[in-house]
A and B are shown apart, each in its own frame.
Chain A
Amino acid sequence: MHSFPEIHQLLSSPLDFAHILDEIPLGILLMDKDLRVVHLNRFFQALTGFSLDMAKGVPCKNILRSSACIINCPVLATHRKNRSISCTSDIINTDRQKLPVRITTAQVMDTQGHFTGYMETIEDLRSSTPNDPEKNVAYSFANIIGRSRKMEMIFQTLPMLAQSDASILITGETGTGKDLVAEAVHQTSGRAGGPFIKINCGALPATLLESEIFGHMKGAFTGAVENKPGRFKLAHNGTIFLTEIGDLPLPLQVKLLTFLDDRIIYPLGATKGFNANVRIIAATHRDLEYMVSIGKFRKDLLFRLNVARVHLPPLRERDADIRLLLDHFLNYYTKKQDKKINGLSEPALSVLLTYPYEGNIRELKNIMEYAVNVAQGNRIEADNLPAYILDHERVQRISKIAAVEDVPKIQSGEPPSSAPEQPHKIEQTWSSVQRQMIIDALRTSRGKKSKAAQILGMSRSTLWRKIKAYQIE
């Protein structure tokens, strides 16, 4: 434990200064006259990711990492103007997230009124920042957009869920916006002023994950050179978001279950528990019921997490939303990149509306970002779209032609091919088309591979690989 000065003469017994600071729902940073970090509270750690052990004695701008520190240091302004300064800025935390904050600085005086250092309070503005104009779209909840029936039902449910304190399980394929929903629920809940801490259960090995989630005491194991509060403690009075909960190792599932029962966390090596007031939101792209049936996920944990379930439909089940999302991201990236693009051309739109979006909204977003970057004119044309989409579209078209050509054969008595074979057939068709294109190009270039590659618009190494793959002699 850190020995930290006590506050005397306020109450009959001395008060623990660090504990008082930890209970304040604002990030607090104390610095000496040279702007070196002297102390920080738990909320500051939750916001920035820096613990006191990491930050103590380091120049504050390297810990707070706000844009104000570099452009116009508010602490130095406080010193110059001899008064408290408040400004809005942003910070980048150790999770590489940029967060909007309000920084308020003040001078710290000793009992004789001599200036001894500075104090900064950091307010997380994520919950109070007004939505960007581009995000202000009808048919939306927080930053989630949609007007399909399935999404409308979710929009009706989410505000009610946000107001309750129940655990939520969010399911859905990758790229459907599970993280966005979790954050939206937190920001519209009564806990919006508290921290929102995200843990990716699949990102760390089990041993590290345990100390990351529950924390550890100094000396609990080799290498535990300092106390670590753990994410649950940092999320006190806020929300903890366990993403990829399906990847949580079984021993940790038991520990999480224990916490859900008695709401007390025991850091590794600790003898005393900490009563954490935390709301849990979990998310996964896995089928937890199936995982339960094969013994990879605990049934009782599923029941406890599954108080309220939100299933986010994949984009292919949200036909009505594709156009809305295309326009939204077109508008967003056009403004962001300061381009003058009015819309999508008919061929581009038809390709985009028929594409299956296996990566869901994330994929659609990336496609639009690419298209806006590449587009030269005032409309996005089909050839501004990523090549793999056009390839897919070409395959679809060829398969349709092939299907039409197959009709007489079926009528002439040949048995129709079964449905599951269809994707294989499409692949074969595209492969044969590509093989033919390579042969044609090689003929045109009279066997010169570099020229053939140029004709085909691919690199020599790609052409070489394809010649090998298609066994072209």
Chain B
Amino acid sequence: MTLHKVAIPILGEEIVPRFDLTTEVIILTTVNSFDIQDKKIIVLPRSSSDELCHTLLAQEINTLICGAIEDEYYEFLKWKKIKVFDGVSGTWTHAFKRWQTQTLNPGDILFTRMVEGNLI
């Protein structure tokens, strides 16, 4: 049984477009990358990349799914052996499902595309 912790910075139901402006992060603990064993939301006192990185390390996160992130923090998290899927946009549930099925890629835009209410 392997436990894997996935963190997703969120804004409502969606992934927050900017890592450095995150005030809420959802942490999902999975067993063998599939069954969710635990789900919790951490509310940060203020948005700060440094503090969020610290939180991710303190929580022993294995994978981060986030929106735009500065290269300095991306490289730091990679160095700390956190797998980062950055530039992902859409609902966090959708992104998490894609991660579970190993079909998530950095830069994925998971929104349904619409213009003036019509699907495109």
Contact = CB atoms under 8 A, between A and B. Distances in A.
Interface of A: 32-34, 36, 38, 54, 56-59, 61-62, 65, 67, 69-71, 92-98
Interface residues of B, number: 25
A97 B117 contact: no
A98 B11 CA distance: 20
B17 A33 contact: no
Given A92-B69, A94-B107, A96-B86, A65 B17 contact: yes
By secondary structure, the A interface counts as mixed
Contacts, number: 65
B80 to A, nearest CB: 15
Contacts of B21: 67, 70-71
B35 interface: no
A34 B68 contact: no
Given A61-B17, A65-B18, A96-B70, A36 B114 contact: yes
Given A57-B111, A58-B89, A70 B68 contact: no
B16 interface: yes
Interface string B39-82: 00000000000000000000000000001111100100000000
A94 B86 CA distance: 9
Contact of A32 (B70, B111, B116): B116
Contacts of A65: 17-18, 67-68
A394 B89 CA distance: 51
Interface in B6-31: 11, 16-18, 20-21
Contacts of B11: 70
A70 B17 contact: yes
B13 to A, nearest CB: 12
Contact of A58 (B20, B68, B86, B111): B111
Contact of A62 (B70, B89, B112): B89
Question: Which of A59, A67, A94 gathers most chain B CB within 10 Å?
Answer: A59
